[in-house]
Amino acid sequence: MAKLLVALAFLFLNFYTYNYFAKEDSIPDRGDFVEFPLEVESWSCSEVQIMSDDVLRKLGVTDYLLCDFFNPELNAVANVYVGYHERQTRDTGEGDNIIHPPEHCLPGAGWDIIKSDIVPLDMGFGGEARRVVIAKGNQRNLVYFWYQSRGRTIARNHEKVLYMFIDRALTQRTDGSLVRFTIPVIHGDEQRAEEIFQSLAMSITPLLPQYIPN
């Protein structure tokens, strides 16, 4: 019964917020990812990856960065995805453009999640990330992701959704981003993958506020 009441309250909040509060979205100014530097300290991206129109429609993303960054000093490569949504809605008649949780999408792409933890971020700003290890056959990847939205860095999807409703009511904003780092785990060396993530993330994350408004 308690779960049913919570679900009904959530649906009521959704309906009330979207029909009686802040019907017009406020879109903040930001830089476009086409201007994102492809050489950052010892890391460089030789070619930005372009997603198909079909994938873009499914994601509902407004702007994005998708690239493999390489570090010759570490002889390491890692994939970076940052997807920005200028507004998020569940039912506009034009499709769902809310940020989809990676832990829901990874199994659909054939990856099994074998570890999953919420960890604090130590990148010069507060917040949390979800740290997962995924497997497909003999492949292993270390994945870090978080929702960087309207001045918050959040790891839990339900918190992201709750703040989205609150911010729409109070500030007319539903914009937000998913930040994701994917690092191959070679020969089972998860510690080295962790060190690669830390190196790249420390280089990339200070640049993100130009493209993800607080």
Residues in the chain: 214
Residue whose pair of structure tokens reads 């070679």 in the numeric block: 186
Closest CA to 68 of 181, 209, 178, 201: 181
∠ at Cα 132 (129, 133), nearest 5°? 155
Closest CA to 205 of 145, 156, 118: 145
Q: Count up the domains in the chain and report the number.
A: 1
| pLDDT digits (tens), the chain, 214 positions | 554 444 444 555 555 555 545 457 788 889 999 999 999 999 999 999 999 999 988 888 999 999 999 999 999 999 999 999 998 876 554 556 889 889 888 888 889 999 999 999 988 788 999 999 999 999 999 999 999 988 899 999 999 989 888 988 898 999 999 999 999 999 999 999 999 999 999 999 999 999 998 8
Say what the pLDDT of residue 3 is. 46
Say what the pLDDT of residue 104 is. 85
* Strand ranges inside the chain, DSSP E: 39-40, 43-48, 63-71, 76-85, 112-120, 128-136, 139-149, 152-154, 176-184
Farthest CA pair distance, the chain: 57
Residue whose pair of structure tokens reads 């994005």 in the numeric block: 64
Say what the pLDDT of residue 27 is. 84
CB-based contact 182:173 (threshold 8 Å): no
CA dihedral 130, 148, 160, 144 (to 10 degrees): -10
Domain that holds residue 67: 2-210
- The residues that bridge with 182 in the sheet, in sequence order, are 79, 143
